[in-house]
Structure 1
């Protein structure tokens, strides 16, 4: 909500002058969020009120252009005119494109030498064939608001030619913009905010709604409430003889402008002004257009209403409407109907102020996509005692400034429901805050916000207070609410901040240490950690090429997803990871290596019923067990995706593109960090390429897959060519509690190479396993450094060249011992896979 400082301080009974910054700090102290403090645009130089004497229409141009002769009494000239008895103004010719003013109107003129907000300097210049000796200003050009539909025209009774416009318009004011939380609907008004300021500054406040309401002499207009749940109270007041030509007083227009509300007509402006001042929205009807009694009810199926924005709306049976004999004439609490709106010639006006059901108003706003200032307040509740006071305030404004006659009758149907008193120990705020407040602080603070407080005692003799909340605070329903009020008004900054002592423990769990080790190992290998969106679209499984029977399609759906097209919890990390990859590539990244460690959600084969658990007491052990049993499994996975070059290009070379082997190596990095040796085996699984997919196993148990993605998947998801990925079940790896420290041998190694010819279908990993088994303890390491196929090795065969490193822990190994170990390794490979030494 936007509020000018001058309007707020008008309702504080103090001679002390507060700056905008002091007021903003006071709001923050009592728990309000100040979004912005904006001084009105700085205006310097001569800015005065002028009278339009003559208007010449320049018709030779495509758009409206007017050459205006404006009477201006300039400050330095005015004193001389008074001294010599002259009263003749200076005439200045000014070019203007606005058409919302006529001869005789008072306008604001910025003279040459003036500087308007934004550093816009005014000077005399030739334009459209004339000399424009100044500028006629709009409200936006003066920094009063965003209204720019025309020139700012001042009421003749409140200004005169020659007046200083800066002082008249209050251009030295400041706007404070606050974000009001849903539980503080009373703060959507000057009345509520001034009360909060008075509490924060410990000064007396003036109630904007403190208007004497006379006794009603009959009804202003017959009203019948058929839906008591939707309308708690309906009050109406009739004003006749309103002057339809009466302009809105400048002080009302100015405050509406600064609050961001456009001036329409005086009766409508009055309803908006009183709404901002008191917090009570109201509506003005053109009384002669009403046919029969007013009825408050729910809309009938199929009923239509043309609202003030000239839109025909089909109503829902949940909408609350005000109707007469012709049908709905107003969408209650949201927007009035076009058939009964106040017209330019309206002299007979019926003002209405009501209290509507907040949930019903909220549903109507969302259903019709029709937010309004009135609905914003009704959604957050309005003081049910306020309608007659707000109506009396509005009626008197119409009487005082538009010659209206307030009719003696007042309709007041329904009534305010009383709020329940709340009892609490008087020391409860002190115990909650851990602060010993001054004696009487609880009673004083609760009284400040409008509560009636009675001091008594509890059954065990302790002092207590019984608090009757004010009508505008329906949110005060339990002791915790009262405690919050005392604490925020005493100041949250007075509550000590004490960190609790950390209990002794064993530190991180083995699973946590493993996760951190894996993350660190992948980061050291050049991968960048990302936190992708955890929800997926059901269409992604088709893009992955999964068969209808694939278990990964069985997901848990969200009842209220953040995005309608991503409504499922993922059973694999790859969809979200590939989304992040696409986003990075679209922003110019070409070489991408990403990793993520997170949970997936695997639904149970059969759905387990979820028990209904109340909030009054702690759930029983059986209820907790049932809740846990109903939860889907959520194991932790680790995934990587790669695209572009694995080693970047530069002056040192062309770079090396990422391939399926890099994805497999990422799996090995995870296994090494977890202290587990992974076995790699060729496999086929969507979305990987059938010929470039590896299965990762621990022993004989599959724990993941790695390789290059299928070209169709790449095309469907818009991925870079040859994109690779790896996903591994981190929770599927055995947890190694202790990893022994390495004890390297101090003796030199013996390096031998061996090239074996095997059948092309024999997996490389299995040949390597046979070599390790045959080499025994002396074989420290082996590495595949060459794969060769061709006529020399025969059709359907390939040559695998390994570098073997032999070393003994307790002695220097002889060549003969190393050769014997190599021969044993080759023999094991020959026995298992028919491997032969390549000549």
Structure 2
């Protein structure tokens, strides 16, 4: 927000210079972004009046003006501005003067005509960014006076950055309140007097209780002078606030909004047809806005309408059909309260982030509508005259923002701030800020003023005390810390350990958005319904992710587009499912939820699951003369997963078939622990790879982080002094039988002397019938008390072969 320092000092005038004033504003939380002089550096620019004007004899676009600059004689000035005319009061840069851009004015000849200076536009004087002809000053402006003096340009323009919770400071009065409390000064009296009613003419208004409107005030002003213009002081104050002057009625509403913080709107009453209606838009209704754009209105938007249809979007922008112009003589002023929760998001929906919408989104004073209306009426009548009608004031008390009393305890304030201010000082701060307060034995009973939406809990009020006292007044203390040594079970493994292991194996961690594109999410996990966002920050981030793999693939795509195709990435974070899904996900279960809290449900219908996902693509080793150019494959990423589980727990990890469509039909597996699925691994489905326009084949995995949370406690085992015995067997089995199926049977059948099973060959081809495969296994046997005999070994091997034959139809290959 930008404002004039002089304007602010009319409300409160601390005995400090401009620089110190800016520091005070920053220290009370209203961060000053910039302080600049209101007067561009200029010299010899005075108020002047064009007395006579004639066409230049040798140039069609130039005219010769006789200008009164306050001297004894009129000055001849050649000018090409289209708005130059006899009787116009404007700005003249005299010979010997200097413009803000450094130009020095000299006596000149233009097409043979002498020019004793230059009639200036506001842009040439650094007072505007738009060139719309030479400056037009009020007729009563004193000729010959320096322009800097007349416009009171010995001023500073202060620009502050406000946090969204301080909507009350989007006005001169709001900023002045904080400054008055900081300097313990009273606000200057700015009482708004009621304007006497001069006519009974009024406009009918109906308000739908379902709309965003909680209060609506308005009144008619008739018989105004259509040829008037806004006074120079108002135009200049608006300019310093970054607001362009348009017309008296619009300027008045902008001026009141800048000073009091209440947005207003002026309708040309002669363009209204029937009574004004404040209601929700109907399907198919359209509106041409003041900026000329036509928008389609949705049924959740509150509009202002008449009998023809919409004439404005409530709290955002008016319509072109009822806009005031230079011929307007009768206006209807509107000053309303539109609830912030109903307005929020609408300006972005209609690409109309106006000053009014900016304030309504943050909340305006529910008690300020009538005051703003009276103030605007008085200003309008001073400028354009007219007869004032009675005030219409409709409100719905049940929808007004509630203000709840809070007890601020002395003990709590001292604990948070580290100091104990005098009770009188705290009470004064509250009073200066407009916070009603009553001193009690244990503290202060307070309640927020109507314009402070940000004050709700005890800490909010304590923060106000700290702000006004000044953070430099708070003592510097060293934090007290008493370390407590707590037992850390060896069976609990931190997620950091899994991250470190992957980093040590060449992975890099990435962090991606939890918000993702709905189309891509459907492409990856069509089996899961993504939760839509009610107010997404962009169309590409419209739903919550159901898998972390999407973010990794997007990272891969960006890197591939920059000729980087080899990488190993991982990410940890939450994925989001609906509570109504029944079982959370057949492919990624909430492993040991009762023990680890894996599945966090909320009343909002969202299930959150902690997962870790990884992606590998391209070469596993950096390019080197002695390194093989081996591309990552299913088994290389599977080895990384096995390393994670080997570090984490000693439970029975199994790789089982899965039908997850995201993965390659021939290179995918689900991961189980104790019969419960905790993740999956595999190559990306070629169809999906083509849809994502990827030249490399990525391999991905996703695991429940809680499946990696239980660590195996190391235990010492005795080593046998007796030799191992190895027996190799080759089995013919159906190609659908997995190694995991074979091992499960062997582990179940084998006695304690079987120490290990090693798969050292898989063969399909010549001499192996179609649909079968040969699996060669090495069985390692050893006893701890004696050397094994051949007879014992043969019995164990025979028992294993018999068990495999019964379970999977396996036969020995000879």
TM-score normalised by the shorter chain: which range applies? 0.7 to 0.9
Q: What is the SS of the residue equivalent to 1:532?
A: coil
| Distance change in 2, residues 1:425/1:155 (3 Å) | closer
- Contact 2:198–2:387 (CA under 8 A) maintained in structure 1: no
Question: Which residue of the partner structure matches residue 259 of structure 2?
Answer: 277
Match of 1:641 among 589, 602, 615: 615
Structure 2, unpaired ranges of 5+: 584-598, 805-809
TM, length-normalised to structure 1: 0.71
Please give the residue correspondences for 1:38-77 in structure 2 after superposition, counting only pairs within 5 Å: 38-39=35-36, 43=40, 48-49=45-46
* Farther-moved stretch of structure 1 (371-380 vs 557-566): 557-566
Q: What is the SS of the residue equivalent to 1:505?
A: coil
Q: What is the SS of the residue equivalent to 1:181?
A: coil
- Contact 1:638–1:727 (CA under 8 A) maintained in structure 2: yes
Question: Which residue of the partner structure matches residue 3 of structure 1?
Answer: 3
Question: Which residue of the partner structure matches residue 642 of structure 2?
Answer: 668
Structure 1 residue 516: deviation in Å? 2.3
- Contact 2:567–2:617 (CA under 8 A) maintained in structure 1: yes
Structure 1 residue 530: deviation in Å? 2.0
TM, length-normalised to structure 2: 0.73
Q: What is the SS of the residue equivalent to 1:645?
A: coil
Question: Which residue of the partner structure matches residue 25 of structure 1?
Answer: 23
Q: What is the SS of the residue equivalent to 1:31?
A: coil
Structure 1, unpaired ranges of 5+: 547-552, 609-624
- Contact 2:4–2:155 (CA under 8 A) maintained in structure 1: no
| Distance change in 2, residues 1:801/1:137 (3 Å) | farther
Q: Quote the Cα distance in structure 2 between the aligned partners of 1:629 and 1:274.
A: 44
Q: Quote the Cα distance in structure 2 between the aligned partners of 1:476 and 1:634.
A: 32
Please give the residue correspondences for 1:425-464 in structure 2 after superposition, counting only pairs within 5 Å: 427=410, 430=413, 433=416, 435-451=419-435, 462=441
Please give the residue correspondences for 1:579-594 in structure 2 after superposition, counting only pairs within 5 Å: 579-594=554-569
Give the count of matched residue pairs.
770
Q: Quote the Cα distance in structure 1 between the aligned partners of 2:258 and 2:327.
A: 26
Structure 1 residue 263: deviation in Å? 1.3
| Distance change in 2, residues 1:301/1:579 (3 Å) | closer
| Distance change in 2, residues 1:167/1:829 (3 Å) | farther
Question: Which residue of the partner structure matches residue 189 of structure 1?
Answer: 171
Structure 1 residue 362: deviation in Å? 2.0
Q: Quote the Cα distance in structure 2 between the aligned partners of 1:541 and 1:332.
A: 36
Structure 1 residue 723: deviation in Å? 1.8
Q: State the Cα deviation string for residues 96-125 of structure 1 (Å, max 9, x = none).
A: 7x7555575634769999685xxx665899
Question: Which residue of the partner structure matches residue 619 of structure 1?
Answer: none
Q: What is the aligned-residue RMSD (CA, Å)?
A: 6.0
Q: What is the SS of the residue equivalent to 1:13?
A: coil
Please give the residue correspondences for 1:555-566 in structure 2 after superposition, counting only pairs within 5 Å: 555=529, 557-558=531-532, 560=534, 562=536
Q: Quote the Cα distance in structure 2 between the aligned partners of 1:769 and 1:58.
A: 108
Question: Which residue of the partner structure matches residue 33 of structure 2?
Answer: 36
Question: Which residue of the partner structure matches residue 248 of structure 1?
Answer: 230
Question: Which residue of the partner structure matches residue 163 of structure 1?
Answer: 146
Structure 1 residue 645: deviation in Å? 2.0
Structure 1 residue 212: deviation in Å? 3.8
* Farther-moved stretch of structure 1 (173-182 vs 159-168): 159-168
Q: State the Cα deviation string for residues 481-512 of structure 1 (Å, max 9, x = none).
A: 65554343334565567567565533478444
Alignment pair present for 1:358 and 2:342: no
Q: Quote the Cα distance in structure 2 between the aligned partners of 1:542 and 1:408.
A: 61
Q: What is the SS of the residue equivalent to 1:656?
A: coil
- Contact 1:674–1:735 (CA under 8 A) maintained in structure 2: yes
| Distance change in 2, residues 1:523/1:449 (3 Å) | same
Please give the residue correspondences for 1:410-421 in structure 2 after superposition, counting only pairs within 5 Å: 410-411=390-391, 413=393
Q: Quote the Cα distance in structure 2 between the aligned partners of 1:658 and 1:780.
A: 28
Question: Which residue of the partner structure matches residue 633 of structure 2?
Answer: 659
| Distance change in 2, residues 1:270/1:24 (3 Å) | same
Q: Quote the Cα distance in structure 1 between the aligned partners of 2:714 and 2:58.
A: 92
- Contact 1:218–1:409 (CA under 8 A) maintained in structure 2: yes
Q: What is the SS of the residue equivalent to 2:420?
A: coil
- Contact 2:653–2:671 (CA under 8 A) maintained in structure 1: yes
Please give the residue correspondences for 1:471-620 in structure 2 after superposition, counting only pairs within 5 Å: 472-473=451-452, 482-491=461-470, 494=473, 498=479, 504-507=485-488, 510-513=491-494, 515-534=495-514, 543-544=523-524, 553-555=527-529, 557-558=531-532, 560=534, 562=536, 572-600=547-575
Q: Quote the Cα distance in structure 2 between the aligned partners of 1:383 and 1:683.
A: 60
Please give the residue correspondences for 1:364-383 in structure 2 after superposition, counting only pairs within 5 Å: 365=346, 370-383=352-365
- Contact 2:644–2:708 (CA under 8 A) maintained in structure 1: no
| Distance change in 2, residues 1:212/1:670 (3 Å) | same
Match of 1:210 among 181, 191, 205: 191
